[in-house]
Amino acid sequence: MPEPAPTLVMGVVNVTPDSFSDGGRWFDVDAAIAHGLELVAQGADILDVGGESTRPGAARVEPAEEIRRVVPVIRELAGRGIPISVDTMRAATAEAAVEAGAVIVNDVSAGLADSAMAPIAAASGARYVAMHWRGHSDRMDALAEYRDVAREVRDELAERVDALVRAGVDADRIILDPGLGFAKRGEQNWELLARLDEIGSLGFPVLVGASRKRFLGALLPDGAPVEDRDLPTAVLSALAAERGAWAVRVHDVGATRRALDVVAAWQAGRRG
């Protein structure tokens, strides 16, 4: 039986002025490029470049502005041979990003926010991350009602996969994301993580994006800076890797890379 592939590290490059995690530190194109290169030096396998914040309550960005923010960064980083993902809900941005060199479209709405996304994703040939999503950031907290969160997330993702495949997206290129923090309360996130195998049971690679999110912040003292969530993120990433996650999406690549190295050594010892 072949050994499972190691879990990849997807480093976050926010080209936004209002990200909850970094407050716009990488909004300038040159700063974003430099940050991306730093993340690769720390061990990122993929860079996820986004031009619109999806934090709770965030305002939408006009498509032209989103494209203006991300395309120069993607073009430069992809031109250096770095695998690039574009974090967008818009088909126009996805199309422009793939033309600039992105090889993954990371759509937090799984095609629900833009009806043109599935056809564009199908035509692009890029891999496509379909995240569990019930609504935009300004209303998602009101949509966190579940009887069985893991089962419902799994079933709703399965429905999105069927719709995407009908639209022409190659099933072999689909990656699933349970959408931690998106229309999920704290305890629901933990239940989803504990039952991550149920998402994996659909037969697709699974991306886990928990980095610096509110449910991790709830473990820390009140007033702790957002960077203090990096250690809990690294621990969670290691647990996700142990459960077979395809990749983890993180802000602090160095800590997570070290945590995954420990997981890999542990697994090698188990096999040996």
Catalytic annotation, residues: 213, 249
Strand order in the sheet with 8-14: 174-177, 127-131, 104-107, 84-87, 46-50, 8-14, 247-250, 207-208
Whether the Cβ atoms of residue 27 and residue 17 lie closer than 8 Å to each other: yes
Torsion of CA 128, 52, 84, 127, to 10 degrees: 0
d(CA 40, CA 73): 14
Question: From the CB of residue 62, how many other CB atoms can be counted at a distance below 10 Å?
Answer: 10
Q: What is the largest CA-CA distance in the chain?
A: 54
Closest CA to 9 of 53, 49, 48: 48
Which three-class secondary structure state does DSSP give residue 38?
helix
d(CA 272, CA 269): 5
Residues contacting residue 236 through CB under 8 Å, at least 6 positions apart: 193, 208, 210, 216, 248
Residues contacting residue 211 through CB under 8 Å, at least 6 positions apart: 12, 21, 229, 230, 233, 248, 249, 250, 251, 252
For tokens 């429905």, what's the residue? Answer: 159
Bridge partners of residue 11, in order along the sequence: 47, 250
Q: Which two tokens stand for residue 47?
A: 């860079």
